[in-house]
Amino acid sequence: MQAVLALEDGRIFRGKSFGAPVERVGEVVFNTSLSGYQEIFTDPSYAGQIVVLTNPHIGNYGTSPSDEESSRPYIEGLVAREFSPVSSNWRSTEVTDEYLERSGVPVIAEVDTRAIVRHLRANGVMRGVISTAVDDTNALVAKARAHRRMDGTDLASTVSTKVAYQWDSAQPLNQTGDALLSAENSAGGQTLHVVAYDYGIKQNILRMLARENCRVTVVPARTPAAEVLAMQPDGVFFSNGPGDPEPLDYAQANIRELQGKAPLFGICLGHQLFGLALGGKTYKLKFGHHGGNHPIKNLETGKVEITAQNHNFNVDPASLPDDVAVTHVNLNDDTLAGLKHRTDPMFSVQYHPEAGPGPHDSHYLFRQFRKMMEEWKH
């Protein structure tokens, strides 16, 4: 079956249909990761987006429950150069094509992904449609133009958990039932209680917090700060998530209320919310940062970290007040990649230190959070 990717500016790409034979609309972005496609599929930060993968061969190692970052794929659609109809890996439990078909995600393959990426880099991310209705491309372009923009859209509350739940080191298991976190990986010492706001939280974040011997309570995005404080947390975590941070006024208010009352740590969308809550401003990047190879410089240590990133919005460093310090900078484009408050125990980064997929250079940030909680507790 043939498929079409129609962009809002009228550019048309024709290819072959895989996955679910359905029509989907979303903002089209590209990801430069070399592996970890299932983690990308299931990252809730991709809600509302069609993802173009620059790695030319996708699907060859199948899918596995232990590679999922959430309960299901959140991408609206997938664009690939070559999409494997078979899988060859001892960990695979389902062929990628069948996995995406079962999940209702359309795939267009055998297209020139290099041309798509160059087009997005030159013109910026834009809305698009994946469809098997290849006859009326003008109608598909019109659907793309009529679709809501990511700017000004609160998607975090739509992907967040509806009820609070507990997570601890006994829970994250792989497909064979073996604990992913061995005793030697645990931080040891006193178990600390972290309340994590779920704006689209990834499973590996919870695993990393558990590895630091933290008992985690995950709460919905709109949970009032007073309810969180009533849980007597040793620290509060603010997760990644999709969409524009600016409409999340409820989250910004919670951060301001929690500031100075417990150690706070934010990642990605959580980082953008920190910037807004502290008096800064955010803006949309031309084509975002999506991939596992972004160099970040830690200004406090001088070290460079290779990081995983997935975001379209960024904090403007010039808008931050004097009591906020810039801690990390993206070496590709000099954008803000980390901040901390100069007096209150709170810090955040504009990347994914938990990886999943990606390098492990930034795992130290979870240890830094634990150390902050220990110092606050004593």
Structural domains in the chain, CATH included, are 2-146 (3.50.30.20), 156-377 (3.40.50.880)
- In the chain, alpha helices (H): 37-41, 96-102, 113-123, 137-146, 156-159, 203-211, 225-230, 249-258, 269-277, 364-377
Using one digit for the tens of pLDDT, what is the confidence trace for 86-120?
999 999 999 999 999 999 999 999 999 999 999 99
**Would the pLDDT of 179 be above 50?**
no
Which pTM was predicted?
A: 0.94
Output b/e per residue, 279-316; b: 16+ Cβ within 10 A: ebebebeebbbbbbebebbbeeeeeebbbbbbbbbbbe
Taking all residues of the chain, what is their mean pLDDT, rounded to a whole number? 93
For residue 356, what pLDDT band results from cuts at 50, 70 and 90? confident
**Would the pLDDT of 188 be above 90?**
no
Instruction: Please tell me the predicted confidence (pLDDT) of residue 292.
Output: 93
Using one digit for the tens of pLDDT, what is the confidence trace for 18-69?
999 999 999 999 999 999 999 999 999 999 999 999 999 999 999 999 999 9
**Would the pLDDT of 180 be above 50?**
no
Using one digit for the tens of pLDDT, what is the confidence trace for 310-331?
999 999 999 999 999 999 999 9
**How many angstroms separate the CA atoms of 286 and 125, rounded?**
7
Q: Which of 186-195, 219-228, 256-265, 302-311 has the lowest mean pLDDT?
A: 186-195
**Would the pLDDT of 173 be above 60?**
no
Instruction: Please tell me the predicted confidence (pLDDT) of residue 168.
Output: 64
**Would the pLDDT of 12 be above 60?**
yes
Structure tokens at 200: 């689209």
For residue 175, what pLDDT band results from cuts at 50, 70 and 90? very low
Which residues form the catalytic set? 268, 352, 354
- Three-class SS state of 284: strand
